Structure 1
Amino acid sequence: MRKLKENLLKSLIYLSAFFTVSMLVVIVGYIFIKGIGGINLSFLTSNYSANGSGGILPMIVTTLYTVILSIAIATPIGILSAIYLQEYAKKGKLVNAIRFATESLAGIPSIIYGLFGGIFFVVVLNLKYSILSGALTVAIIILPVIIRTTEEALKTVPDGYREASLALGSTKFQTLYKVVLPSAIPGILSGVILSVGRVIGESAAILLTAGTVAQMPGGIFDSARNLTVHAYLLTKEKGDIASAASIGIVLIFIVLLLNTVAKAIAKKLNKANY
């Protein structure tokens, strides 16, 4: 009976894994089949044209602007918040309130963030529809992910590391800076990688804060559309599924490229630490 249960559990595990991989293959395969024919050098390097003959270079630039800005804003705040919660804060009402707020932020739909960003950043702060407004809004969206993953990464560092460092005469800050954080870097970067994917895939918040201008942005204070917003508008207004699928392929490659770069950085930092 026990062996039967183990075999049944293994079968369910393998079936679940097969189903997950199959869905990934089907989704990515469908996107590639639909969109691979539309990808060429002109599509990737030329400006957008309303007649449908242009490319997506302005949207690629806007997407990269948004990723770099939002990660640069959210990462320090998220890491420092996690360090406070894990290393310095004493358990109590304040810590519970902060954790509750973090979990609540993670569960709010992105359209709500977009409405907030549209009111606060675009109108109140008078940043208008701009890449900066979009990046600030998306930075708030990814903040809970970075906080939670950094907390978990800090928890994985053995207490013996901290105790040994303190026993050798290091201060708590020196222990944190030279021992704890370097050991937690792989986990922290995992959270950043997850956040990059969230930023690239965001459309609702960007639509309400960065606008839909399809021209090459001159800077972060210009209105522009990213790749996901462009794919949405092509599908909604023109029914151009093929071009939207081509944009999907570009998005996949951008995510893979950024993930590869992040993992390479993590590998180098690990080598430097040991």
Structure 2
Amino acid sequence: MKLKNFGLRQAAGFAGFAAMRLAAAASVLALFGVLGVLIVNAWPVLGWDFLTQPPRDMMTAGGVFPCIVGTALLALGALFFALPLGVASAVYLNEYSRDTPAVVLLRLSIANLAGVPSIVFGLFGLTFFSVFCGFGVSLLSGILTLAVLSLPIIINTTESALKQVPGDWREASLALGATRRETIMKIVLPSALPGIMTGAILALARAAGETAAIMYTGAVFFTPKEGVSLFEPVMALPYHIYVMATSGTDIEATRPLQYGASVVLVVLVFAMSLAAILIREFRRGKH
């Protein structure tokens, strides 16, 4: 009987691992399938000129250089505002607050905000930043809207990382005479840094790929201005792709450009995420 039960458990374990391997293989194949379709359809336009020139001929030719700049500014600007505020909020929730009903409600609200559709954040940004604050449709409005959208992700991941730091380390630091602030700054945050950087990577990737959050606040389909100003709108790859695919002057003629811009967006998000991962691993090595 014991041998039979052992054989059943072994078979069940083998079947479970096989199912997980198949699921992982299917996910990888789907990813490479999507990338393959994008690259094949974008191949006619991919090149140095496509990356370094602005659109021209009623958006049916040229490149996406202003869109690359606008997307990078929006994503990095959002991270610039959201990361310190999100980390500070997570430190307060984990290190200073008590589990009162108000704090429990606050945590629940943050968790719910992480699942709110981005169009809601876009309408909030339009109402508050563009209209109430008077920033209009501008780079600054888009950055602040994406920062608000990224905050729940950073807060949740940072708080989870802080919870992974052993409580004994805090007690040992306090026992040696360090203040709570010194303990947090010199012991807790450095130990939680890899998790914090993971949250930053997730937030950066989401901000770079958002369309609905910036279509009302910071992005336009085309702007003839070459310079960049915080109080002027910018072109962005997600919105550029959306408009070309739905309401461009000649949708069929711009089809390769749509795929080309999609490939550039994927590569840009990958590059920014890779840079953040390298920074995280470098900091992890130092500690």
- TM-score with structure 1 setting the length: 0.95
- Distance in 2 (alpha carbons) for counterparts of 1:25 and 1:264: 23
Q: Which residue of the partner structure matches residue 266 of structure 2?
A: 252
Contact 1:122 1:128 in 2 (8 A): yes
Q: Which residue of the partner structure matches residue 267 of structure 1?
A: 281
Q: Which residue of the partner structure matches residue 16 of structure 1?
A: 23
Shift of 1:60: 0.9
Q: Which residue of the partner structure matches residue 103 of structure 1?
A: 111
Shift of 1:264: 2.2
Flag as ranges the 4+ runs of structure 1 deviating above 4 A.
none
SS of the residue aligned with 2:239?
helix
1:30 aligned to 2:37?
A: yes
Letter in 1 for 2:147: A
**Residues 60-209 of structure 1 correspond to what in structure 2 (within 5 A)?**
60-209=68-217
Equivalent residues, number: 273
Q: Which residue of the partner structure matches residue 238 of structure 2?
A: 228
Gaps of at least 5 residues in structure 1 are none
Letter in 1 for 2:109: A
Letter in 2 for 1:30: V
Q: Does the C-alpha gap of structure 1 residues 225 and 267 become closer, same or farther in structure 2, counting only changes over 3 Å?
A: same
The one of 53, 56, 59 equivalent to 2:61 is 53
Contact 2:145 2:213 in 1 (8 A): yes
Shift of 1:37: 2.6
Shift of 1:181: 0.4
Letter in 1 for 2:153: V
- Distance in 1 (alpha carbons) for counterparts of 2:43 and 2:79: 30
Contact 1:130 1:210 in 2 (8 A): yes
Gaps of at least 5 residues in structure 2 are 1-7
- TM-score with structure 2 setting the length: 0.91
- Distance in 2 (alpha carbons) for counterparts of 1:61 and 1:167: 50
**Larger Rg, first or second structure (1 or 2):** 2
Contact 2:221 2:239 in 1 (8 A): no
Name the Cα RMSD after superposition: 1.4
Q: Give % identity.
A: 35
Shift of 1:269: 2.0
The one of 210, 228, 239 equivalent to 1:218 is 228
Q: Which residue of the partner structure matches residue 39 of structure 1?
A: 46
Per-residue CA distance 1:35-69 (angstroms, 9 max, x = gap): 13311111111122125222111111111110121
- Distance in 2 (alpha carbons) for counterparts of 1:217 and 1:111: 28
Contact 2:219 2:239 in 1 (8 A): no
Shift of 1:211: 3.5
The structure with the largest helix share of the pair is: 1
Q: Which residue of the partner structure matches residue 3 of structure 2?
A: none
Q: Does the C-alpha gap of structure 1 residues 14 and 121 become closer, same or farther in structure 2, counting only changes over 3 Å?
A: same
